[in-house]
Each structure stands twice: as structure tokens, then as C-alpha cells.
Amino acid sequence: MTSIEPRLHRRAFLFGSASLGALALSGCAQSDGYMSLAEAEKVYGPVPTEKFPIPAVDVTKVPDRKFFRATVPYETSEAAGTIIVDPANYYVYRVEGDGTATRYGANVGRDGFRWNGDAYVGRKSEWATWTPPAEMIKRQPEVAKYARGMPGGLENPLGARTLHLYQNGKYTLYTIYASSDPESIGSGVTSGCVGLLSQDMIHLYDRTPVKTKVVVLPA
């Protein structure tokens, strides 16, 4: 099964445009290099201008401050703009091309649902409709009511923004999506998809055109 499993009120099933702009962290990071909770409250504040206004993240529920957005040194041969998913460490990187990357904390696929390889962003969606695949419906009959699609909204598991990953012209069913569950960051909870906090996902989405290369590293 290769799609995320939504939660009841975006949680129970999981274990089944206002850009915030780039943040220069040098002046607001604490001595350990991570964003302070006070700064995080600003970065992950509410986004009232969305079609479905996004509430502020309770940053105290993010398991570790290392999962807050940061600009970090990152050496790679990949071109600027490439997205690199590091499921072993629960990070997503956007390569900036100057020896740095923007790093986001993420949730990733749980055991048995992980994958790796090269893909690309085949399409982008705002407040996408979510449709559970047949395999998920077999595993979780309670999602059958969404077989014809769950409209976009705050309760929709794909959230405010979705990057749909393709290989060789075909949709893989994997996505990078917006999560409103801060406690899920830094854990393996999905059916293979990768979730960023909604504010981080909007930040990444706005900087990611269709056809962007995505590299998913082995877990």
C-alpha cells in the first residue's frame, strides 16, 4: 500500500496562498543550532488567508526542536531545487545549490511501507481530494465511505498542499503532503508517504515546480 492512511479527525486512520518565506536562522537559533520555541511559534503560527484557515502548530508537541525548519550545510552533487528525503533521520531537504539545504522535519512510512529511489514531482495540488486505494479499504473498512473521494479540508489527510511523485510518467501513489499532527513528526506512521508540518509544506510547495527531481534515500 503506497498512500498515506488518514486519521480520524486526521489521526485515527493515520496509523493508517500565503508563503511564510525563507527564514534566516542565524539570528534566531539557540546555541545548539536549533530554532527556539519562541521563534518556532512565529514560523508555525496560523495561516488565516488559506481557503481553509490553518491553525497554529502547538510547537511543544513536536518531538524535538531539531525537526523545526533550518538552513543547514549540505554537500551533494544534486542540482539546486532537488528534494532529498532522508527517512532514516526523518528529514526532507531542499538543495539550495550553495553548499546548504533547507531542512524540514518529517514523518515517513512505517515498517513494511517504505520505499526508495528517484522520482519527480508530476503534479501539485492545493487542498487535494483524498481517495483511499482498494488495498487500504480492505485493511481498514472504515475508510470505505471515502471510496469516491474525501474533499479537501482540514480533516483531509493530504492537507493544504501535496506534491505527487511520479516515475517514468506514472503516478507512484506516493506523496509529500501537509500534516497537521505535530506529534507525528520524527516517526514512521504512514503507508509510505512523507508528511511535513503544514507551514513547512507550504514553504516547500511554493518553491517546487512540476518536474522537480525527488531522491528518496534508503531507510
Looking at the domain assignment, is residue 82 inside a domain? yes
Pick the more confident residue, 26 or 148: 148
Looking at the domain assignment, is residue 13 inside a domain? no
pLDDT above 50: residue 4: no
Average pLDDT over residues 92-113: 93
Average pLDDT over residues 13-19: 37
Looking at the domain assignment, is residue 98 inside a domain? yes
CATH number of the domain that residue 183 is part of: 2.40.440.10
pLDDT above 90: residue 11: no
What does the mean pLDDT of the chain come to?
87
Which H/E stretch holds residue 141? none
> Max Cα separation, the chain?
50
Percent of residues, the chain, with pLDDT higher than 90:
74
Report field, pTM of the whole predicted structure over 0.75: yes
Average pLDDT over residues 174-184: 96
**Which pLDDT does position 12 carry in this prediction?**
35
Total number of domains constituting the chain: 1
**Which pLDDT does position 30 carry in this prediction?**
56
* Confidence at 186, pLDDT banded by 50, 70, 90: very high
- Give the domain extent around 53: 25-216
Give the residue among 124, 79, 63, 73 at the shortest CA–CA distance from 102. Answer: 73
Residue with cell 512523507: 194
Looking at the domain assignment, is residue 122 inside a domain? yes
Looking at the domain assignment, is residue 12 inside a domain? no
Each residue's pLDDT tens digit, 39-91: 999 999 999 999 999 999 999 999 999 999 999 999 999 999 999 999 999 99
Burial of 105 (0-12, 13-18, 19+ CB in 10 A): buried
Residues 46-78 as b or e (16 or more Cβ within 10 Å = b): ebeebeeebeebebeebeebbbbbbbeebeeee
Looking at the domain assignment, is residue 196 inside a domain? yes
